[in-house]
Structure 1
Amino acid sequence: MDDKRKHPRVEIEELAYVSSGGSVMSCVVRNISAAGAAIDVDNPAFVPQRFRLVLAKDSTVHDCRVIWIQKNRIGLAFIDG
């Protein structure tokens, strides 16, 4: 399958947090690029369509929107802004 992404993704395994409306849920970032990421969560049903992704290592914050969900993995696009 051809990868049609504009930006190459880097495979990582980094702790992060889904933050929205005062609630926070831990997740693991599996890959990341300048335009988005894929994360693993315990229960995708609790992840809102738009949220902030906070990387634990350096507290980098990305505003995100959900693009796809496959089992416990969620594909995200970073929102410019």
Structure 2
Amino acid sequence: MVETRIAPRFRVAKPAKIDHGGDKIKCMIRDISATGAALEIFDIVRVPDSFTLIVPEDGLKLPCHVVWRKEYRIGVAFD
């Protein structure tokens, strides 16, 4: 299989939060790159199309938008 992504992805297991209008939803970052990430989340219905991803461990607040959704995962691109 040929890799066609712009940036290499790194597998991780980092806790994070989806912040939208003060509502924070817990999630887990499963892979991340310079351009986006795959998030594991069990309350996917509450996730808006764009939000801020907060990664407390790294002190990051990353604006992003959803590019794909599956049963318990979403893919986001960083804005």
Question: Which TM bucket (shorter chain)?
Answer: over 0.9
The match for 2:29 is 29
Q: How high is the TM-score relative to the length of structure 1?
A: 0.92
What stretches of structure 2 of length at least 5 have no aligned partner? none
The match for 1:71 is 71
Amino acid at match of 2:47: V
What stretches of structure 1 of length at least 5 have no aligned partner? none
* Number of residues of Structure 1 aligned to a counterpart in Structure 2: 79
Amino acid at match of 1:41: I
The match for 1:5 is 5
Report the RMSD for the aligned CA atoms in angstroms. 0.9
What secondary structure does 2:57 align onto?
A: coil
Q: How high is the TM-score relative to the length of structure 2?
A: 0.94
What secondary structure does 1:4 align onto?
A: coil
52-61 vs 14-23, greater mean Cα deviation = 52-61
What's the CA shift string for 1:28-77, capped at 9, x where partnerless?
Answer: 00000000000001121100000000012022111000000111100000
What secondary structure does 2:76 align onto?
A: strand
Structure 1 runs (4+) deviating above 4 angstroms are none
Amino acid at match of 1:72: Y
